[in-house]
Amino acid sequence: MEERIRGWEKNVRRVVPYTPGEQPKRSDIVKLNTNECPYPPAPQVQRVLEAFDAGQLRLYPDPEASALREALAARYRVRPEQVFVGVGSDDVLALAFLTFFNGEKPVLFPDVTYSFYDVWAKLYGIPYRTVALDGEWRLKKEDYLTENGGIIFPNPNAPTGLETPLDEVEEIAAKNPDSVVIVDEAYVDFGGTSALPLVERYDNLLVVQTFSKSRALAGLRIGFAIGSPRLIRYLNDVKFSFNSYTMNRLTIECGKACVEAEEYFQEMTGRIIRTREWAKRELGSLGFSFPDSRANFIFAKHESVKAAELFEALRREGIYVRYFPKPRIDDYLRITVGTQEEMERLITFLRGYLHGNV
């Protein structure tokens, strides 16, 4: 029976929400579906957790998260007033949409990309236009050198893992001086080239990164943006008009410790990169093709077996990957790079399944 619409529902804002990757309740699985880091955070974070005084939680946190912003400024060699932090990069990006994309012209982003972009655009009533990637899943810079109300794209892109060269990113920023250009670098630490050096030259360029992937803190929710002081001031004005105390005291301390653990950060990202390259070779030998990922995942298609079939077979085995039943990408699996042992289990199962031994 169809449910009756209440009178108050006429004023409800209705949107189709973003669908995150499944978070299984089982503990006996190989979880390769949400691009989390397979390794624990830096030991320095554990020490913060052990020493934290719970009595501090009766007090509001620093609304500017100064300690974390200063640590990030030192790490990336910018001024603290060029750094904005939020509750995960999703929070940072959502606030950036709300702050900067308020014109009548459409915001531009790729047609195959992070699927939260169109959700935010619809939520805030922002006009937008998706721009098709080419036949090799690459962003075409020429498509972004036209009138627009703003530009956003991930680099490396998701779910393809491909990187847009830095000179093309610069050209997009340089030739759109009247638009804010946001480069979403959630996966840049796995072999990509950051656009951060360009923020000193282009006051319309905002670079966004996250602690959820390469810094193994998805459970704490930390994201940040770096740009010109003017961009950051506008972001802060919106944030402080929305919720001043978005980041708690414990998260600020853990985030600062994580930023300062540079040696551990380099070790973990290097390990993931090595495992990714090994997995590419193994998947290739099993008949998979994929773009040359510079992220912590592989976007793979098999030559003869449908992605939906492989997705279900892997799931039954307790190996979770991501499948998107959407146009253009419904024959691909996005496989997060796990530990070497997890990836070996994946490859062993696929080899047996594809050869009829499972």
What backbone torsions phi and psi does residue 166 show, to the nearest 5 degrees?
A: -60, -35
Q: Read off the pLDDT band of 1 (50, 70, 90).
A: low
In 3-state terms, the chain is what percent helix, strand and coil (to 5)?
Answer: 40, 15, 45
Question: What's the mean pLDDT in 86-94?
Answer: 97
- CA 244 to each of CA 64, 66, 249, 291: distance values in angstroms, whole numbers, following the listed order: 8, 13, 13, 41
- Find where tokens 């509750």 sit: 87
Does 8 have pLDDT greater than 90? no
SS3 1: coil
Q: Collapsing DSSP states into helix, strand and coil, what is residue 300?
A: strand
Residue 184: the pLDDT is: 98
Question: What number of CA atoms fall less than 13 Å from residue 72's CA on the CB side?
Answer: 30
Tokens of 59: 């007090």
Q: Is the pLDDT of residue 230 over 70?
A: yes
310, amino acid identity: L
Strands (E), 171-210: 181-184, 205-210
**Nearest alpha-carbon partner for 288 in 278, 298, 273, 275:** 298
pLDDT above 70 coverage of the chain, percent: 99
Question: What CA–CA distances, in Å, run from 299 to 67, 130, 276, 313, 329?
Answer: 37, 20, 11, 17, 9
> Does residue 160 carry a pLDDT above 80?
yes
Helices (H), 162-301: 166-174, 229-242, 249-260, 262-285
Residue 358 confidence (pLDDT)? 65
Q: Are 146 and 135 in contact (CB under 8 A)?
A: no
Question: For 173-219, what is each residue's pLDDT tens digit?
Answer: 999 999 999 999 999 999 999 999 999 999 999 999 999 999 999 99
> CB neighbours of 127 closer than 8 A, spacing ≥ 6?
104, 105, 106, 107, 121, 149
Listed residue (64, 73, 94, 88) closest to 227, CA to CA = 73
| Mean of all residue pLDDT scores within the chain | 95
Q: Determine the Cα–Cα distance for residues 196 and 183; give it in Å rounded to an integer.
A: 9
pLDDT for the residue numbered 2: 62
Q: Which two tokens stand for residue 187?
A: 């996966």
Asked if residue 69 lies in contact with residue 86, where contact means CB atoms within 8 angstroms, the answer is no
Query: Contact 38/328 with Cβ under 8 angstroms?
Result: no
DSSP 122: H
Residues 46-56 pLDDT 10s:
999 999 999 99
Using one digit for the tens of pLDDT, what is the confidence trace for 91-142?
999 999 999 999 999 999 999 999 999 999 999 999 999 999 999 999 999 9
Q: Is pLDDT larger for residue 22 or for residue 339?
A: 339
Mean pLDDT in residue range 324-330:
93
- The average pLDDT across 155-167 equals 97
Residue 248: other Cβ atoms inside 10 A: 17
In this predicted structure, what is the pLDDT of residue 118?
95
User: Tokens for 262?
Assistant: 């540079």
pTM given for the model: 0.94
CB 184 within 8 A of CB 153: yes
- pLDDT digit string, tens, across residues 9-21: 788 888 888 777 7
